[in-house]
Structures are given as C-alpha cells and as structure tokens.
Structure 1
C-alpha cells in the first residue's frame, strides 16, 4: 500500500541531462552538479553520482526525523550525526537495485535509547517510508 501525504508542503524539482554522465540542476538554481558514474562502475568519478545524492538526501532527512522523535521522547541528540551508505548493484532480473545502511552517532544517550530512537525515526522519515519494502535498509549506532 502506498503512503500518500495528505497535505503536500513542498515539491522539489530537478532536471537531469545525459543521465548518469551529465548534469542535474534544480529549478531554483540552488543545485547544479555534474554527475558521472563512479570509477567502480566504469566512470571517471569526476562528478558526483546519483547514489551520493541519494545518500545526502536520506542522511539529512533521517537526521531531521531523528530530531522529531527525540523531541517527543525528551532525548538529547545534540552533537548527533547520521551517515547514509548507499550501494548499487545488479538484481537477479537483470536490473539494478540499491541498499542503504544508516549509521547514527548519538553521544548523549545510551545504546538502548539510541537504537529505540533510530527505529522510531525509521517509521517517521519520508525516505524510509518511500523505500520500505523496496530497498534493504539497515540501522546501526556508532
């Protein structure tokens, strides 16, 4: 079942030219990057790649969701960070698929609280909701 927002607050718009070997720009001019496949996939690695952009968006969004959950729980997450590792590889049917590992460092809470906060943030984060059931996402504390 698709999760649909009931009140869309913002819509981002970006346009790609030449796919994975070109450029991507947002309609407002805030983002304009050269994209190139990573060396591991036969590219020059001269620009960023879609997996890096996805990792950047997911880590920022998840950090925001962690903040929402922490406020509700009364937890101090100051100084916390979220790192997203996004992998790409072949699928059995000949396509490509992604994997995601989210690793959070939350210095002001114990391990059990950190894991609880991550699980709850994973239920709140729009990226997590969009990928649930489609991409393997692992949660880790550092």
Structure 2
C-alpha cells in the first residue's frame, strides 16, 4: 500500500488515564477509564475515539458507493458502538463494533445494499474484518 495520508498521535502518562495529542494539536485531551470499568470517566477513552473514527470513515465509504451508484443519501447518518470486554479465555480484552446506518427516504433493501457495499470498501471495515465482530444494521428511522 502506498500511503495517501498518515495520522500520528502520542499517548503519555498512564495509558488509559493519561493524555493524547497529535503533532498539529487538533487532538489534545485527557483520557480516563470509563466508570463501568472502574475509572472516573472524566476524559474520553480509546473506544470513543475508535467509534468516532469508524462512524466517520464508514459514512464516507457509504457516500462514495452511493455517489458511484448515483443515489442521493439525503440526511444519512452512521452511528458506531464500540464495546470492550474480556476475551473468552480471560486473557486480555477484545472489541466488538455495531454500526447503524440510517438513510431516510430510501427503501430498506436499497439502503442495505449500499451499507453492504460500504462495508466492503471502508478502510476500518477492512482492518477489522476477521479480527473482531462487526455488525452493520440499517435502521428504517
């Protein structure tokens, strides 16, 4: 792969209870463990960052496949839920992702075809495929 863009970030401090920033300063904030995992939940966490990135990337892929198919997505949205939990073997942690695609005024079947096509081309989907469970659901709302 020839890179078109490379993002860079640095985490400092105590990992999930530390700080992260990018060299350009566009990302610059404290991290904290979620309260459900025993932390104070004051800052953001890696799962929130992953959810935001995956939702944006998938929405861009969806727009690209829709443009190619000459379909207007209108006020489409993509929501992402990233869950973290202990692996089945109790050694370490794993992730799971749920993506929810909403394309108002488009028949469900057509919206599902576009979502499936986006899942085939989205870089985040390609990176996670076969590594973590990713569910793509098309909402009729």
- In the alignment, what sits opposite 1:115? 112
- 1:67 is aligned to 63
Where in structure 1 are there 5+ consecutive unaligned residues? none
Are 2:46 and 1:41 aligned? Answer: no
SS in 1 for 2:16: coil
Pairwise CA RMSD: 0.8
Displacement after TM superposition at 1:74 (Å): 1.2
Choose from 15, 22, 29 the match for 2:10. Answer: 15
| TM-score, normalisation: structure 1 | 0.94
Shift of 1:96: 0.4
Aligned residues: 137
Match of 2:83 in 1: 87
8 Å contact kept, 1:103–1:139: yes
Shift of 1:100: 0.1
Aligned partner of 2:123 in structure 1 is: 126
Deviation at 1:75, TM superposition (A): 1.2
Secondary structure at the aligned position of 1:13 is classed as: coil
Q: Is the 8 A contact 1:76 1:108 kept in 2?
A: no
**d(CA) in 2 for partners of 1:20, 1:87:** 15
Report the 3-state secondary structure (helix = DSSP H, G, I; strand = E; otherwise coil) of the residue aligned with 2:106. coil
Structure 2 spans left out of the alignment, 5+ residues: none
State the Cα distance separating 1:48 from its structure 2 match.
Answer: 0.4
